[in-house]
Amino acid sequence: DGGITQSPKYLFRKEGQNVTLSCEQNLNHDAMYWYRQDPGQGLRLIYYSQIVNDFQKGDIAEGYSVSREKKESFPLTVTSAQKNPTAFYLCASSEGQGPGDTQYFGPGTRLTVL
């Protein structure tokens, strides 16, 4: 089945530790995205990538880092510089970044920092 996988579903970390969230897609999509969602809120864009080895900051990139070494993978690292990292993290992909391109989302990773 084609789709996007995120692992793990739940992640717990101690304050001050970096943590990396996995996102893999087998849709052969060029564009990939990371969003953060807080309770009762919409999605906020952290980073996006239109092509391998290239990525751009979204609206709330501070305290996060990404890499795009392979087309199918777009891991997100939540660093200790992120002041309030506890949230629901969603990865998405789209065929391109044209106005008609639809985003397909993974199931999300819920990160809790203790």
Partner 1 sequence: DAKTTQPNSMESNEEEPVHLPCNHSTISGTDYIHWYRQLPSQGPEYVIHGLTSNVNNRMASLAIAEDRKSSTLILHRATLRDAAVYYCISSLAPFGAGTTVTVRA
Residues near partner 1, by CB under 8 A: 4, 35, 40-45, 59, 88, 90, 92, 97, 99-100, 102-108, 110
| Nearest distance, CB of residue 31 and partner 1, angstroms | 9
**Closer to partner 1 by Cβ: residue 35 or 64:** 35
**Closer to partner 1 by Cβ: residue 22 or 97:** 97
**Closer to partner 1 by Cβ: residue 16 or 40:** 40
Cα angle 18, 22, 27 (rounded to 5 degrees) comes to 155
Q: Which whole-number Å values give the CA distances from 7 to 50, 83, 88, in the listed order?
A: 22, 22, 12
- Residue pair 32/68 in contact (Cβ under 8 Å)? The answer is yes
